């Protein structure tokens, strides 16, 4: 039993140091991915507007601009860890709309074909946004620097 306690204590100590690097990795990778997808939408606004029109979204051009801007600039904010929780809310909203429009078929079959839901394009973007919203940006962020300065 003593070996069990020692190994658990050691694993707890090691794991206790992992959240901040993990959150940094999520922010860097998914911030960059959001930036690129948003930049792509804005760079091909005509094509994005046409796609949104085909999905039946009202005000397709305005929605294309809003989605592209949210992803592009939100991705940059995630990269540096500035307003991370705040920007994760519209990113979650954008990915939810993506699911409910472009991937509605997999939403409808979430319980009968969960693999389709978790392999759809918005899933990992949504998951990363939810993780950052839930746990914050971590210590390696501008948000944390600002928080530390405000408590001095």
pLDDT at 27: 98
- What is the average pLDDT across 61-69? 98
Cα 127 to Cα 130: distance, rounded to the nearest angstrom: 5
pTM of the predicted protein model: 0.92
pLDDT band at 152 (very low <50, low <70, confident <90, very high): confident
- What is the average pLDDT across 70-77? 98
pLDDT digits (tens, 9 = 90+) for 18-30: 999 999 999 999 9
pLDDT at 1: 76
């Amino acid at each position: 039993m003593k070996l069990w306690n020692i190994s658990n204590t050691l694993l707890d100590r090691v794991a206790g140091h992992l959240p901040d690097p993990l959150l940094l990795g999520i922010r860097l990778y998914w911030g960059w991915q959001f930036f690129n997808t948003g930049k792509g939408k804005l760079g091909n606004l005509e094509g994005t507007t046409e796609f949104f029109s085909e999905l039946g979204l009202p005000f397709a051009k305005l929605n294309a601009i809003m989605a592209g801007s949210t992803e592009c600039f939100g991705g940059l904010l995630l990269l540096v860890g500035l307003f991370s929780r705040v920007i994760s809310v519209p990113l979650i909203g954008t990915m939810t709309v993506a699911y409910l429009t472009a991937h509605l078929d997999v939403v409808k079959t979430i319980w009968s074909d969960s693999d389709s839901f978790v392999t759809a394009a918005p899933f990992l973007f949504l998951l990363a946004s939810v993780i950052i919203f839930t746990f914050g940006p971590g210590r390696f962020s501008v948000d944390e620097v600002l928080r530390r300065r405000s408590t001095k």
